[in-house]
Amino acid sequence: MNLKELKDKFESLYGAGEVRFFSAAGRVNLIGEHIDYCGGPVLPAALNLRCVVAARKRTDNIVRMAATTIDLTAELDINKLDSYRNLRWGSYQAGVAFVMKEAGFDIVGCDMLVDCTVPFGSGLSSSAAIEVATALCFSAFSAENGGKKAAKEELAVLSQMAENSYCGVNCGIMDQFASACGKKGNAILLNCATLEYEYAPMDFGDCELVVINSNKPHSLVDSKYNERRKECEIAFGLLKKRLPHITCLADVTSEELEKQANILSGKIYDRALHVVTECERVVRAVEAMKSGDIRLFGRLLNESHRSLRDNYEVTGKELDALTEAARSFDGCLGSRMTGGGFGGCTVSVVEKDKVKDFVRKVCADYKKETGYDAVCYETVISDGAFEITAV
Ligand code: GLA
């Protein structure tokens, strides 16, 4: 929906008057998968698939919410924010309001209309985009009332807290951070242990990034996400006894892991092996991108997928089929799943002049193999969260 349409829709729901617009991004992760919650480095980028929250303050304690893409609404009393954990729709926003109120923001009643173009279940973080856009909105209204205002990094942390403690999804910080702090044309190299970050210009020379949705829906709650986190904690606990200097699993090097292999049982070792080698791949991928070695970058994407498939077991037959179809195309330098896995999207690096053929061929092969219709998104790497001021 464009802003004019969004404003019209807002006014038809809530009446005429001033409307503000808060935008946050969906994200694609280039490399560094399933290591954010182990303190590893990740390399996500913000997308032009976004969530825009249109909003206006009210004079009472009620937050009313509606959406452009689904026919559901919710109403929250800001004095009872603890009681909306099981809404059919709106618990992400309720969680953000709850967490921010606890953190001392001046949460005020308002009307909101949520317009989210990040496809749900795509692995491109629609939930993070909704949380961060909502957090930005509450922060702006709080500041307007003379209360606290959050920096972008803080928006990310608050949103993650909402998802963890309110919505019960034990996600890491990567999605919310990319959604809030992304920068046009850049990936973010984020150290998830310290939250230090730098921008890495995304220049793939003659190649470009192609994001394809397998259309096999994924769900972090239903999937094995929390189980993997547990396995990593077990690995860390055992390794820490032998390697007291480590503060997180990402601190372990592959040489150290190899030497300690005998203390980890089969699956636990495999999970740790993924984490440790994926951390190393991120470092190499950033160097490859900086030095323009896109072939190496592509190979690292392939290795990442292989490790997610064999060691971490979070891919599934659809993502495997989609990435295999991609890799077998002459002109594709590398392909991997992106996000939580078990469905959702893949990311590939493809020679620019072959992208159209690539998409056609890969989608056809994939359909033949799995029966699913894949969809390709035009990916423009964009800014993270901001208020849209020129309407
Ligand atoms: C989901 C989570 C992230 C991250 C990825 C896997 O997107 O929300 O925190 O763990 O999975 O890299």
pLDDT tens for each residue of 141-193? 999 999 999 999 999 999 999 999 999 889 999 999 999 999 999 999 999 99
- For ligand 1, the distance from its centroid to the CA atom of residue 124, given in whole angstroms, is 10
Computed over every residue of the chain, the mean pLDDT equals: 96
pLDDT bin (cut points 50, 70, 90) of residue 222 is low
pTM for the full model? 0.97
- For ligand 1, the distance from its centroid to the CA atom of residue 220, given in whole angstroms, is 9
The pLDDT value given to residue 178: 98
| Mean pLDDT lowest among 1-15, 213-227, 330-344, 356-370 | 213-227
Q: Is 167 in the pocket of ligand 1 (CB under 6 A)?
A: no
The pLDDT value given to residue 314: 95
The pLDDT value given to residue 220: 55
175 given a catalytic annotation:
yes
Atom of ligand 1 lying closest to residue 127 CA: 8
The pLDDT value given to residue 224: 84
Contact criterion met (CB below 8 Å) for 388 and 1? no
Atom of ligand 1 lying closest to residue 34 CA: 12
* Residue 235 vs residues 15, 171, 230, 240, 293: alpha-carbon distances, Å: 55, 18, 9, 8, 34
Please name the amino acid found at residue 201: P
pLDDT at 390 over 80: no
Of the candidates 46, 20, 117, 29, the one whose C-alpha atom is nearest the C-alpha of residue 305 is: 29
Q: Which of 175, 251, 270, 365 is catalytic?
A: 175
Provide the strand spans (E) within the chain: 20-29, 41-42, 44-57, 62-67, 73-77, 110-116, 186-191, 197-201, 207-213, 332-338, 345-351, 375-377, 386-388
pLDDT at 281 over 90: yes
Our mutation pick for probing the ligand 1 site, out of 30, 34, 47, counting the most ligand atoms within 8 A of Cβ, is 34
Q: Is 172 in the pocket of ligand 1 (CB under 6 A)?
A: yes
pLDDT at 221 over 60: no
Q: Is 131 in the pocket of ligand 1 (CB under 6 A)?
A: no
> pLDDT for 11-67, tens place per residue?
999 999 999 999 999 999 999 999 999 999 999 999 999 999 999 999 999 999 999
- Give bridge partners of residue 376 from the DSSP assignment: 212
Please name the amino acid found at residue 281: R
- For ligand 1, the distance from its centroid to the CA atom of residue 338, given in whole angstroms, is 9
- Give bridge partners of residue 59 from the DSSP assignment: none
